[in-house]
């Protein structure tokens, strides 16, 4: 049992976490993780563990408030991505370090103060990357001695470092309480994989392995995202995750805006922004976020202009659309069926070519028709992934 400082809020005391019938699979190597830290850590660990199992590549996730701000696989970074993520172009990144750089890079504004999860041992390369980011903590199966010393130096020695036993499996039935009433169910232990991607319902049935990989990444990310949720994935990483909305179209729009911003962060005009010397990464990310928004107030503009050595000329709507039009292989995933075609119409604006969802709506035929109009490939998995 671990006694915690407090629960979700400081006035919620006492607070503990424990296993009822098993030994705790966790070790706190540094710091004093809190209630929400552990919620983030345990959800994030399940996500990266399942990605590793299903896709067989190193994986990382960046969690905030019990949903992933980003998740990614350990694929090499392009030079433009390194620049967009504020990474030294000469940095030698291991696969697991690349996975975290991509996960954090999905939404760098949302990932500020995240809880990081790694599927594989954290090495010096990954630790040095994380050392320079604002983060609340990390969970991983192991750490090299060099990585552990680097991480222990974060936050004046108080950085939260959790080690989890990778062989740990929870009991099949899970419980939670709401208002003193206990809920019990079999935990969702189904891991999305290529076997779920056989039912292609559109005229276009060309589904390359890269799209299958990205579909699995989307589905496993959605499995650990507060519902309703919709996820955009491109080239082995989440680029937009829309969580916890009551209407699915709002998830699609929210995640679509994030995906557009991720794609636009690699625009030459963004990569060439000249920030004032000494400006921190978080301020740069916020400035870029403001730079890419279509409308800002006069007060926002006045503050935004103070970030730069030379105030840049903002991109026009037409320039943004022209840049976005070159990205055509984006995957869109949904944790439940799309009830209307408006989701497909919105997704088409962000380069979506592949769609994966459970299916089962009374309007499935209209959604399929919309995908056919855009030449998209859509897969029905038959499995809903609600997470609450």
Task: Name the strand (E) or helix (H) holding 348.
Answer: helix 342-348
- Active-site residue among 65, 86, 281, 383? 65
310 by Cβ neighbours in 10 Å (0-12 / 13-18 / 19+) ranks as exposed
- Active-site residue among 92, 195, 295, 388? 388
Token match 């954290």: residue?
Answer: 122
Task: Name, in order, each residue with C-beta under 8 angstroms of 35's C-beta and a sequence gap of 6 or more.
Answer: 4, 6, 7, 8, 12, 15, 17
65 is a catalytic site residue = yes
Q: Which two tokens stand for residue 108?
A: 């760098």
64 is a catalytic site residue = yes
- Active-site residue among 30, 37, 64, 343? 64
Contact 118, 96 (CB under 8 A): yes
100 by Cβ neighbours in 10 Å (0-12 / 13-18 / 19+) ranks as buried
Token match 């309703």: residue?
Answer: 228
- Active-site residue among 30, 43, 228, 241? 228
Contact 106, 70 (CB under 8 A): yes
Please work out, in degrees rounded to the nearest 5, the angle formed at the alpha carbon of residue 388 by the alpha carbons of 182 and 117: 115
Q: Which two tokens stand for residue 169?
A: 């499996």
End-to-end CA distance of the chain: 24
Instruction: Say how far apart CA 242 and CA 14 lie, in whole Å.
Output: 33
Contact 245, 79 (CB under 8 A): no
Q: Which residues are catalytically annotated?
A: 64-65, 228, 388
């Amino acid at each position: 049992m671990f006694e915690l400082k407090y629960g979700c809020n400081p006035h919620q005391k006492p607070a503990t976490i424990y296993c009822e019938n098993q030994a705790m699979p966790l070790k706190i190597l540094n710091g004093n993780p809190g209630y929400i830290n552990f919620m983030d850590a345990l959800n994030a660990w399940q996500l990266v563990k399942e990605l590793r199992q299903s896709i067989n590549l190193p994986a990382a996730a960046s969690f905030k408030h019990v949903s992933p701000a980003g998740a990614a696989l350990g694929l090499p970074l392009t030079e433009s991505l390194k620049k967009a993520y504020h990474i030294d172009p000469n940095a030698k990144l291991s696969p697991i370090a690349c996975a975290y750089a991509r996960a954090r890079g999905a939404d760098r504004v949302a990932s500020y103060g995240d809880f990081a999860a790694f599927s594989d041992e954290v090495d010096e390369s990954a630790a040095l990357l994380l050392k320079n980011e604002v983060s609340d903590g990390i969970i991983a199966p192991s750490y090299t001695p060099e990585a552990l010393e680097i991480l222990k130096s974060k936050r004046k020695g108080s950085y939260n470092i959790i080690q989890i036993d990778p062989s740990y499996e929870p009991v099949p039935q899970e419980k939670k309480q709401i208002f003193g009433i206990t809920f019990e169910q079999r935990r969702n232990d189904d891991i999305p994989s290529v076997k779920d991607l056989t039912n292609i319902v559109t005229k276009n049935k060309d589904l390359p392995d890269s799209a299958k990989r990205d579909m699995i990444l989307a589905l496993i990310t959605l499995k650990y995202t507060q519902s309703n949720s919709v996820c955009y994935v491109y080239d082995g990483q989440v680029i937009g995750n829309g969580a916890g909305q009551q209407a699915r179209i709002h998830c699609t729009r929210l995640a679509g805006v994030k995906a557009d911003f991720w794609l636009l962060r690699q625009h030459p005009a963004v990569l060439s922004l000249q920030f004032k010397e000494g400006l921190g990464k978080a301020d740069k990310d916020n400035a870029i976020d403001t730079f890419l928004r279509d409308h800002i107030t006069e007060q926002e503009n006045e503050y935004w202009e103070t970030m730069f050595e030379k105030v840049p000329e903002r991109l026009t709507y037409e320039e943004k659309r022209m840049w976005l039009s070159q990205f055509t292989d984006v995957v869109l995933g949904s944790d439940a069926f799309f009830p209307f075609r408006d989701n497909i119409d919105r997704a088409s604006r962000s380069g979506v070519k592949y769609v994966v969802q459970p299916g089962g709506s009374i309007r499935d035929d209209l959604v399929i028709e919309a995908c056919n109009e855009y030449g998209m490939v859509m897969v029905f998995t038959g499995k809903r992934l609600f997470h609450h």
